[in-house]
Amino acid sequence: MLVEKRDSLKGEITVPGDKSISHRAILFASLAKGTTEIDGLLMNEDCLYTINAFRKMQVKIEILPDNKVRIHGNGLYSLKPPTTVLNSGTSGTALRLLLGVLAGQPFNSVLTRDDYALRKPVGKVVTHLRQMGANIDGRDSGNLCPLRITPAKLKGVTCNLSIFDTYIKSPMLIAGLYAEGETKVIEKIKSRDHSELMLNHLGADLKIDGLEVTSKRIENLYANDIKVPGDISTAAYFITAALLVPNSDVTIKNVGINPTRTGILDVYKSMGAKIEILNERTVNNEKVADIRATSSSLKATEIKGALIPRLLDEIPIIAVAATMAKGTTVFKDLNGFKIKESNRLKYIVQELSKLGASIRETEDGMIVEGGKELKGAIVEGYNDAAITMSLCVAGLIAENETMIRKTQILDIAYPEFITVLNKL
């Protein structure tokens, strides 16, 4: 991918549907009784795997034009035994949510993922579901797919989650819909709450009390149409580009601004960014708005603590913004998070350094000395969408041309990215 410096970005755009919400919309609508229409679904490969998994359990799902899907659910207790293995593709989110569903079913199932993802650990979700009584077996004591799930009588438990284990919350709340008694999840920091909001939209009656969420067995979920907002993690690249490229004025329409996901907006505002939230509204319990970003002179900041879980996916693109900020931006408290474990932090430091950025990794984060001019070079995207799109934004402000290698992941994650960028 070849990227050239730009002297202006202007216009209105939309971004694909939020990935986290899209997976949940498919899953929860498949468990609900009645017909749910989903508008704005992210139609990527991962979501198609989720659709296919429920089709194998005899849920009728129609894929309509314009990112719309119609799901004819038979109810919470009406899934049918799959005759073949269920595949969650490359999505860890789909894998964990499906585990929460399958743990409570009265039939056997096998859940796997794509070949290259088979070596990735499932994480602690299997351990916590087993504490509820789930029967889950697999390689490495259930830490690696394929996983075999057999019928079990689930019981409610109380679970205290660390800030590193928030991915366990949704599978437990889903399993709690099938369990005897109450399932209570207590967090250290408020994490993404898309599951709670959507389950209640479909009649689950989850109790939310600060950092405590309680799920219990219910008679059913009931169909209710869902509009999926644009993904703020995707909008982040266009917001950042508008802030950094001179003479820019970009509005991204219909973006989800759930408070558990807007850490990047808080960081940029602390850096002096010119960002406006327009036309704010609530759609199926989710906050949605248009976001306008214009060219800004940024100043350095410190990113740490409670902010981190609210902007983990955006760390690479914030690092790009930090290269242009006046002063030294410090990222802390990243140990234990996937940004470190996946080497994504190492990659963004390494590749931005090739462009001339003054940036270095630390024991628990990174430090970026801002204000140093970037110069085009040959860099690598590592087939990681966040790294690739972040480097693309860096290329928009770097002198001369920037060549990004290993970018094929965009064909799956966001094929229209360059097309949309070129329209601005």
Q: How confident is the model at residue 411 (pLDDT cuts 50, 70, 90)?
A: confident
DSSP letter string over 309-367? GGTGGGHHHHHHHHHTSBSEEEE---TTSHHHHTSHHHHHHHHHHHTT-EEEEETTEEE
Residue carrying structure tokens 């994480």: 123
* 313 part of the active site: yes
Residue 191: CB atoms within 10 Å: 22
How many whole angstroms separate alpha carbon 312 and alpha carbon 266? 13
Which 3 state secondary structure label does DSSP give 112? strand
CATH superfamily of 19-227: Enolpyruvate transferase domain (3.65.10.10)
Strand duo 135-138 + 144-150: pairing: antiparallel
Which 3 state secondary structure label does DSSP give 50? helix
Burial of 116 (0-12, 13-18, 19+ CB in 10 A): exposed
Q: Outline where 56-181 has alpha helix (H).
A: 92-102, 125-131, 139-142, 169-176
Q: Which residue positions form the known binding site for 3-phosphoshikimate?
A: 19-20, 24, 166, 313, 340
Strand duo 2-3 + 402-405: pairing: antiparallel
Residue 400: CB atoms within 10 Å: 11
Q: Which residue positions form the known binding site for phosphoenolpyruvate?
A: 19, 92, 344
pLDDT, mean over the chain: 95
**What was the pLDDT predicted at 388?**
97
pTM reported for the whole predicted model: 0.94
How many whole angstroms separate alpha carbon 391 and alpha carbon 421? 13
Q: Angle between the 45-55 and 19-31 helix axes, to the nearest 10 degrees?
A: 10
Catalytic residue among 165, 313, 333, 411: 313
More confident of the two residues 309 and 133: 133
Token readout for 397 is 């402000």
Using CA atoms, how far residue 416 sits from 51, 74, 211, 423, in Å, is 22, 35, 38, 11
More confident of the two residues 43 and 155: 155
Q: How confident is the model at residue 331 (pLDDT cuts 50, 70, 90)?
A: very high
* Average pLDDT of the segment spanning 235-248: 98
How many whole angstroms separate alpha carbon 69 and alpha carbon 24? 13
Chain segment 333-345, per-residue pLDDT in tens: 998 777 766 789 9
**What was the pLDDT predicted at 341?**
64
Judged against a pLDDT cut of 80, whether residue 372 lies above it is answered with yes
Judged against a pLDDT cut of 80, whether residue 200 lies above it is answered with yes
Chain segment 158-174, per-residue pLDDT in tens: 999 998 899 999 999 99
Amino acid making up residue 93: T
Residue 366: CB atoms within 10 Å: 23
| Cross-strand partners of 250 | 11, 293
Q: What are phi and psi of 142, to 5 degrees?
A: 90, 10
Judged against a pLDDT cut of 80, whether residue 251 lies above it is answered with yes
More confident of the two residues 278 and 115: 278
Q: How confident is the model at residue 386 (pLDDT cuts 50, 70, 90)?
A: very high
Judged against a pLDDT cut of 90, whether residue 131 lies above it is answered with yes
Query: With contact defined as beta carbons under 8 Å apart, do 87 and 113 qualify?
Result: yes
Judged against a pLDDT cut of 70, whether residue 278 lies above it is answered with yes
Domain at 2-16+229-423: CATH code: 3.65.10.10
Amino acid making up residue 75: G
Q: How confident is the model at residue 51 (pLDDT cuts 50, 70, 90)?
A: very high
**What was the pLDDT predicted at 46?**
87
Query: With contact defined as beta carbons under 8 Å apart, do 302 and 332 qualify?
Result: yes
Chain segment 288-322, per-residue pLDDT in tens: 999 999 999 999 999 999 899 899 899 999 999 99
Q: Which residue positions form the known binding site?
A: 19-20, 24, 92, 166, 313, 340, 344
Q: What are phi and psi of 408, to 5 degrees?
A: -60, -25
Q: How confident is the model at residue 348 (pLDDT cuts 50, 70, 90)?
A: very high
**What was the pLDDT predicted at 282?**
97
How many whole angstroms separate alpha carbon 38 and alpha carbon 71? 8
How many whole angstroms separate alpha carbon 411 and alpha carbon 38? 23
* Average pLDDT of the segment spanning 168-183: 97
> Residue 251's closest CA among 239, 267, 234?
239
How many whole angstroms separate alpha carbon 384 and alpha carbon 194? 24
Question: Any idea where the domains of the chain sit in the sequence?
Answer: 2-16+229-423, 19-227
Query: With contact defined as beta carbons under 8 Å apart, do 23 and 97 qualify?
Result: yes
**What was the pLDDT predicted at 325?**
98
Q: What are phi and psi of 105, to 5 degrees?
A: -90, 150
Amino acid making up residue 196: E
**What was the pLDDT predicted at 123?**
85
Q: How confident is the model at residue 90 (pLDDT cuts 50, 70, 90)?
A: confident
How many whole angstroms separate alpha carbon 374 and alpha carbon 289? 33
